[in-house]
Structure 1
Amino acid sequence: MKTSRENQLKAFDRLLTIMDELREQCPWDKKQTMETLRHLTIEETYELGDAILENDLDEVKKELGDVLLHIVFYAKIGSETGDFDIADVCNTISEKLIARHPHIYGDIKVADEKEVKRNWENLKLKEGKKSVLEGVPNSLPALVKASRIQDKVAGVGFDWEKPEQVFEKVQEELQELQHEIGESNQQNIESEFGDVLFSMINYARFLNVNPENALERTNKKFIKRFQYLENKAKQMNKSLKDMTLAEMDVFWNEAKKQ
């Protein structure tokens, strides 16, 4: 179902009005600051990510609403201090998008998506950024951060040419890890293990695989299978600690067929 632009704007105006009312009348909403909302925003973003992975579009709609509420909330707080409001937020991102897409709003020609990304990073440097990596938040989870780092440096041409080269790097890092395991130097083992993960994340990019999504799907798959195993043990009035690996393996293989 497609909503007209007029109705979309009315819906957004309704949300802004409700936010104004809550900020004035609700004891909880009155007390909130950007700092108190921050951890809640992060939580809502992860919930949206879960819904996307589950391909639950009804839940995606609801979680998008929660995220949008937070954006409106921050803008409301910004308007109260006189720093910015929701119009400033919208205009700022609109201006950025226009400036970063000269192939749409200017006379620049691009051949493909890679050239768009390369231009994007070069434009950011022209805007005053000293490094293409400045836009990678320090607080990102390490796996996501590694993926963003590699994506950004690739955008300015610092990249491998073929997937085969990246896989060779993975194998090289695995050999170095194996060597350090043999040396029993825990600090070096951790360092080389990190290199293995970093190279695997890079390889995922060449396979058009999002490593965060891939790992989370595997997490969900493991949880589902392990809980199947727990339920089977419960039906037999057994504790997992009392079962042999062979017994558990039977139910684990059953779970894989579910």
Structure 2
Amino acid sequence: MQQTIIDLMNKLDLKGAIESFRILNNDPAYLDKTPCSIVLKSLLEAEINHRDKRRQEALLKTSRLPLHVTISDWNFNDERDSNEFRSKVASMLTLNFIEMGQNLNVLGGSGTGKTFFMSLIGCLACSHGKTVVFYNTNELINSIKLSRGSASYYTKIKTLSGKTVLMLDDFCLFEYDEEEQAILFDILNARFGKKTTIIGSQKSMVGWRETLGETALSESIIERAGRNNFTLVMPGVSRRANLD
């Protein structure tokens, strides 16, 4: 009978429930004296947990996040020990801004932990079943530049717009020509006010304007990248120097 039950669960692809059932079978006395409803509830909960874990793993795999980290990997050193900074980080880690479709700009010098913090937010979002994708801004623009104007281009923009969280690292690190700015605008505009975009940059909005120039297109980019958002400034100097 037990093998028949396992075979039936296999046909339904209930891998989590199968593992739980095998564990319960190690204690036949428990099964004999436990009501069927409790056993069934236990098996169903095991299956839900298994599917949640499998989905989280799949989301992490497709996220392109450079680091897979948890809250325990984050630390507040002397430079990060102000109440204001702690409060902002705590607020971001609730992911409420993602639920509201708001944006986040993570600013700071090279090596101050911007990418680490973005990865932490991304991992947390994946653990909550959110679709996340991480890109170096310049690499993303170049990857879709050749298809601009074609059906493939608009399909790629639509795919990006559908992600719960889009992360653009090294934003405005390089100058962008008019076509590249148009692509950046299309990406940001498709998501603005709907889904969360997290930008990592060594420059403030003033620096963005210097990099992009003062044109109508650049102003539209800055407006979409700088509005409806929270800003977290990473304090201190490069932490990489401490690792050498």
TM-score (normalizing by structure 1):
0.22
Q: Higher helix fraction: Structure 1 or Structure 2? A: 1
Q: Higher strand fraction: Structure 1 or Structure 2? A: 2
The structure whose Rg is larger is 1
